[in-house]
Amino acid sequence: MIPSSFDYLAPATLGEAVNLLHEHAGDAKILAGGQSLIPMLKLRLAEPALLIDINRIPGLGYVDERDGSLRIGALARESDLETASVVRQRYQILNDTTAVIADPLVRNSATVCGNIAHGDPGNDHPATMLALEATFVAVGPRGERRIAARDFFLGLFSTALNEDEILEEIVVPRPTAPAAGAYLKLERKVGDYATAGVAVQLTLDASGGCARAGIGLTNVGAMAIEAVRAQDFLRNKPLDSPTIAQAAEIAAGEADPIEDRRGSADYKRDVVRVLTARAIRIAANRAAGANIATPLPFTYSPSQAALRS
Amino acid sequence: MSKHSVSVTVNGTAHRSEVEARLLLVHYLRDELRLTGTHIGCDTTHCGACTVLLDGKPVKSCTLFAVQADGRSVSTVEGLELGGELHAVQKAFKEEHALQCGFCTPGMMMSAVALLERNPSPSELEIRQAISGNLCRCTGYVNIVKAIQHAAADMRATRHTPAYVPAQEPAQVSR
Read out DSSP for A52-109?
EEGGGSTT---EEEETTEEEEETT-BHHHHHH-HHHHHH-HHHHHHHHTSS-HHHHHH
Q: Which residues of A touch B22 (CB under 8 A)?
A: 2-6, 41
pLDDT of residue A29: 97
- Residues B46, A191: C-beta atoms closer than 8 Å: yes
CB B61 within 8 Å of CB B69: no
CB A35 within 8 Å of CB B30: no
Q: What is the C-alpha separation between B58 and A2, in angstroms, rounded?
A: 22
Tell whether A38 lies on the interface with B, counting CB pairs under 8 A: yes
Print burial letters for A211-243: b (CB count within 10 Å at least 16), e (below 16).
bbbbbbbbbbbebbbbbeebbebbeebebeeeb
Tell whether A105 lies on the interface with B, counting CB pairs under 8 A: yes
pLDDT of residue B171: 43
Residues 6+ apart with CB under 8 A from B97: B143
Q: Which residues of A touch B106 (CB under 8 A)?
A: none
Residues of B with CB under 8 A from a CB of A: 1-2, 4, 20-22, 24, 27, 43-46, 48, 51, 54, 57-60, 63-65, 67-68, 111, 129-130, 132-134
State how beta strands A210-218 and A158-159 pair.
Answer: unpaired
Q: Which residues of B touch A108 (CB under 8 A)?
A: 54, 57-59
- Residues B22, A35: C-beta atoms closer than 8 Å: no
Tell whether A100 lies on the interface with B, counting CB pairs under 8 A: no
pLDDT of residue A177: 86
- Residues B63, A51: C-beta atoms closer than 8 Å: no
Which DSSP category does B65 fall into?
A: B
Does the structure show a pLDDT above 60 at B162? no
pLDDT of residue B175: 40
Q: What is the C-alpha separation between B159 and B7, in angstroms, rounded?
A: 32
Q: What is the mean pLDDT of each run of 10 residues along chain A (309 residues)?
A: 96 98 95 98 96 98 96 98 94 96 97 97 98 98 98 97 97 95 94 96 96 98 98 97 98 98 97 97 96 72 46
Residues 6+ apart with CB under 8 A from A260: none
- Residues B20, A5: C-beta atoms closer than 8 Å: yes
Helix locations, chain B, DSSP H: 25-27, 88-95, 105-118, 124-130, 142-158
Q: What is the mean pLDDT of residues B13-30?
A: 97
Q: What is the C-alpha separation between A201 and A93, in angstroms, rounded?
A: 7
Instruction: Give the helix/strand (H/E) hosting A204.
Output: strand A196-204
Q: What is the C-alpha separation between B67 and B8, in angstroms, rounded?
A: 9
Three-state SS at A289: coil
Q: How far is CA A6 from CA A75, A104, B110, in A?
A: 22, 29, 31
pTM here is 0.93
CB B80 within 8 Å of CB B90: yes
Instruction: Give the helix/strand (H/E) hosting A65.
Output: strand A63-66
- Residues B45, A39: C-beta atoms closer than 8 Å: yes
Does the structure show a pLDDT above 50 at B169? no
Q: Which residues of B touch A3 (CB under 8 A)?
A: 22
Tell whether A109 lies on the interface with B, counting CB pairs under 8 A: yes
The closest CB to that of B59, out of A3, A51, A108, belongs to A108
Q: How far is CA A292 from CA A5, A104, A127, A201, A280, in A?
A: 48, 21, 21, 14, 13
Q: What is the C-alpha separation between A110 and A77, in angstroms, rounded?
A: 5
State how beta strands A179-186 and A158-159 pair.
Answer: unpaired
- Residues A8, B67: C-beta atoms closer than 8 Å: yes
Tell whether A46 lies on the interface with B, counting CB pairs under 8 A: no
CB A39 within 8 Å of CB A29: no
**Which residue in B has a C-alpha nearest to residue A51's C-alpha?**
B21
Interface test with B, best of A2, A80, A105, A189 (most B CBs within 10 A): A105
State how beta strands A210-218 and A196-204 pair.
Answer: antiparallel
Can you give B131-146 as a three-state secondary structure string?
Answer: CCCCCCCCCCCHHHHH
Instruction: Give the helix/strand (H/E) hosting B73.
Output: strand B73-75
CB A74 within 8 Å of CB A32: yes
Complex confidence, ipTM: 0.92
Q: Residues B74-117: pLDDT tens digits?
A: 999 999 999 999 999 999 999 999 999 999 999 999 999 999 99
Q: What is the C-alpha separation between A37 and A29, in angstroms, rounded?
A: 9
The closest CB to that of B68, out of A6, A53, A79, belongs to A53
Q: What is the C-alpha separation between A258 and A175, in angstroms, rounded?
A: 34
- Residues B59, A42: C-beta atoms closer than 8 Å: no
CA–chain centroid gap for A62, Å, is 17
Q: Which residues of A touch B130 (CB under 8 A)?
A: 104
- Residues B63, A34: C-beta atoms closer than 8 Å: yes
Q: What is the C-alpha separation between A138 and A152, in angstroms, rounded?
A: 11
